[in-house]
Structure 1
Amino acid sequence: MTLAHARRQELLELLQAEGGLRTAELARRLGVSEATVRRDLAELERQGRLRRVHGGA
């Protein structure tokens, strides 16, 4: 499993547990930049694994 894949899985688990979080909060919890979170959210949305809303998912 790649680092990006593991991070995206953790991101999905956070969203499932919390019901939705802002990009800044996801970045803080994952220890990455907001840009990284936005890229991960875009990829997960492209895969049909989540639905994004303004400011988070």
Structure 2
Amino acid sequence: MWRDTRLALVENIRLTYITDALGYETRCYNDILDHTYRIKYASSRGASTHRERPAT
């Protein structure tokens, strides 16, 4: 059960903070096109994703 969700907009980045019932915070980073490219878990583990750009 989540306790709190916050959203921060910084140039070309959308950062969502999610705080669980124990007070631990998970952060989700999205780019300007709303693609998630990094998740920082409350356990201090991090995950990054790589998105292929379409060929032009």
Name the TM tier (shorter chain): under 0.3
Determine which structure has more spread, i.e. the larger CA radius of gyration: 2
Give the TM-score taking structure 2 as reference length: 0.22
Give the TM-score taking structure 1 as reference length: 0.22
Looking at secondary structure, tell me which structure has more helix per residue.
Answer: 1
Looking at secondary structure, tell me which structure has more strand per residue.
Answer: 2
